[in-house]
Structure 1
Amino acid sequence: MSPVRLVILAILFYIGYRMLRGLGSSGSGQVEEEKKDRAGKEPGVQDVLVEDPVCHTLIPRHQAVRLRQQGKTWYFCSEDCCDRFIEGGETPRDDV
């Protein structure tokens, strides 16, 4: 075999090796799925805004004060709003 053919064969084997190796490892779609699984949510989504039923302020859910009552979770912007809700001074409006 001539040296040119050996070089061409070597290049073709290298390209084939890289392609097979790329198929064996996780592709970009699988990487995104793994990130989603680890984080528990889609990448890029930081948090969801929730509305306080007393003062109607929008707050990130992870920063909200939570109250579990009658099987429903209520989110509040502060302890004061939560206390007002518990005392019955404010009622949530479902029509908003």
Structure 2
Amino acid sequence: MTPLRLVFLIALGYIGWRMLRGGWGAKRSTNAHMATSDPQDVLVEDPVCHVLIPKHQALRLRRDGKTYYFCSEQCCDQFAGQTEQGES
């Protein structure tokens, strides 16, 4: 067996071994990052149009000790108008 053929077979074996172990230089994907995700990634529901939006992107309105989350200023204004009419 020639030295070049031997080097080729060793390299081929190494590549096959790396692929079996989980890829060529790629880190394995695990669900561990899901358990420690940032609480800001939580979805909240708009009480007017019922759209789900990421909490960190939502508009907030605090009323009577409760925080409401909205997808847009229009929904926030509509909700504020409804609650003011209900208080009268």
**When the two structures are superposed, what TM-score results if normalisation uses the length of structure 2?**
0.50
2:53 to 59, 75, 83: 59
1:48 is matched by which residue type in structure 2?
V
1:69 to 63, 66, 71: 63
**Residues 1:46 and 1:70: Cα distance change in structure 2 (over 3 Å):** closer
**Residues 1:77 and 1:44: Cα distance change in structure 2 (over 3 Å):** closer
Q: CA deviation at 1:79?
A: 0.5
**Residues 1:47 and 1:70: Cα distance change in structure 2 (over 3 Å):** same
Q: Please tell me whether residue 83 in structure 1 is matched to residue 77 in structure 2.
A: yes
The superposition leaves residues 17-45 of structure 1 with CA deviations (integer Å, 9 ceiling, x where unpaired) of: xxxxxxxxxxxxxxxxxxxxxxxx92476
**Residues 1:43 and 1:75: Cα distance change in structure 2 (over 3 Å):** closer
Q: CA deviation at 1:85?
A: 0.1
Superposed CA RMSD:
2.6
The superposition leaves residues 28-83 of structure 1 with CA deviations (integer Å, 9 ceiling, x where unpaired) of: xxxxxxxxxxxxx9247660000000000000000000000000000000010000
Structure 2: tracts of 5 or more residues without a match = 1-34, 84-88
Equivalence for 2:41: 47
For 1:3-18, what aligned pairs fall within 5 Å after superposition? none
**When the two structures are superposed, what TM-score results if normalisation uses the length of structure 1?**
0.46
Moved >3 Å (runs of 4+): 43-46
